[in-house]
Amino acid sequence: MDIKRNYKYLLSDLSSLKGIGIKTANLLKRKKINSIFDLLWKLPKSYTDRSLSSKIKDLKIDETQTITIIPLKYSFPRIRNLPNRVSCKDETGEIDCVFFNSYEGYIKKILPIGKEVTISGKIKFFRNKYQLTNPKYISEDSSLIKQKHNSYSLTEGISEKVYNKIILQIMNNLPKIDEWHSRDILKKFDYISWNNSIKELHRPENIGKFKENFYQRLAFDEIFSTFLVNSEIRKKIKKIKKTKKIFNSKKQIEIISKLDFILTNDQKKTLNEINKDLCSDKKMFRLLQGDVGSGKTIVSLISSFNTINSGFQVAVMAPTEILARQHFLLAKKIFPKEIYIELLSGKSTYKDKKNISEKLRNKKIDIIFGTHALFQKKIEFKKLGLIVIDEQHKFGVNQRKKLSDKAGKDCDVLLMTATPIPRTLTMTIYGDMDLSIIREKPNIRKPVKTYSKPESKIDDIIKFVKKEIMLGNQIFWVCPLIEESKKIDHTSAVKKFEYLKNIFPKQVYLLHGKTTVDEKEIILNKFLKNDFKILVSTTIIEVGIDFPNANVIVIENANKFGLSQLHQLRGRVGRGNKESSCILMFKSNLSDNAKKRINILKETNDGFKISEEDMKLRGFGDILGFKQSGIKSYRLADPIHNHNLFILAEKEIKRIEKENENISRFKPLIKLYDRADIINDIA
Predicted TM-score (pTM) of the model is 0.75
530 and 392, same domain (yes or no)? no
**Residue 85 scores a pLDDT above 80:** yes
pLDDT score for 161: 79
Residue 281 located in a structural domain: yes
Residues 290 and 340 reside in one and the same domain: yes
Asked which of 404, 438, 472 is the last residue of a domain, the reply is 438
Reported confidence tier of residue 354, pLDDT bands at 50, 70, 90: confident
Tell me what the mean pLDDT of segment 129-147 comes to.
89
- Is the per-residue pLDDT at 1 higher than 60? no
Residues 261 and 355 in one domain: yes
Mark whether 411 and 524 lie in a shared domain.
no
Residue 644 has a pLDDT of 93
Pairing relation of β-strands 84-90 and 130-133? unpaired
Helix axes 563-570, 592-603, angle to 10 degrees: 40
In tens, the pLDDT along 446-479 reads 788 999 998 889 999 999 999 999 999 999 999 8
The CATH number of whichever domain residue 545 belongs to comes to 3.40.50.300
Domain check: are 311 and 335 in the same one?
yes
Same structural domain, 261 and 317:
yes
Evaluate whether residue 626 is within a structural domain: no
626 pLDDT higher than 60: no
Sort 524 into a burial class: Cβ within 10 Å, 0-12 / 13-18 / 19+: buried
Q: Same domain for 164 and 218?
A: no
pLDDT per residue as tens digits for the range 280-333: 999 998 999 888 778 899 999 999 999 999 999 999 988 888 888 889 999 999
Question: What stretch of H or E contains 96?
Answer: strand 93-99
State pLDDT tens for residues 498-516: 999 999 999 999 987 777 7
Q: Which of 672, 279, 683, 268 is nearest to 442 (CA)?
A: 268
> Same domain, yes or no, for 116 and 142?
yes
Whether 475 is in a domain gets the answer: yes
For residues 134-149, give the mean pLDDT.
87
- The domain of 319 spans 249-438
Query: Which tens digits make up the pLDDT trace of 634-682?
Result: 888 888 888 899 999 999 999 999 998 888 889 888 888 865 455 555 4
Which pLDDT belongs to residue 76?
Answer: 93
Greatest mean pLDDT range, 160-169, 216-225, 356-365? 216-225
pLDDT tier for residue 629 given thresholds of 50, 70 and 90: very low
| Type of residue numbered 336 | P
Confidence of residue 630 (pLDDT cuts 50, 70, 90): very low
Beta bridge pairs of residue 313: 384
Residue 237 vs residue 60, higher pLDDT:
60
Rounded Cα distance, 456 and 449, in Å: 21
pLDDT at 489: 45
Q: Tell me: the pLDDT tens digits for 578-617?
A: 789 999 998 877 778 888 888 888 888 888 888 888 777 7
Domain shared by 380 and 270, yes or no: yes
Residue of 183 and 30 predicted with greater confidence: 183
Contact 409, 335 (CB under 8 A): no
Separation between Cα atoms, residue 298 and residue 296, nearest integer Å: 6
Q: Are residues 225 and 279 in the same domain?
A: no
Integer CA distances (angstroms), 512 to 54, 483, 517, in order: 64, 10, 10
- Would 169 be classed as within a structural domain? yes
Note whether 399 and 259 are same-domain residues: yes
pLDDT at 159: 78
Check whether residue 283 and residue 410 sit in a common domain. Answer: yes
Give the single-character DSSP code of 282: B
pLDDT at 61: 93
Note whether residue 329 is domain-resident. yes
End position of a domain, from candidates 438, 471, 496 = 438
CA angle at 156 for the pair 150 and 161, rounded to the nearest 5°: 35
Q: What is the mean pLDDT of the chain?
A: 85
**pLDDT score of 214 more than 90:** yes
Confidence of residue 3 (pLDDT cuts 50, 70, 90): very low
Report the number of distinct structural domains present in the chain. Answer: 5
pLDDT for 625 = 47
pLDDT at 627 > cutoff 50: no
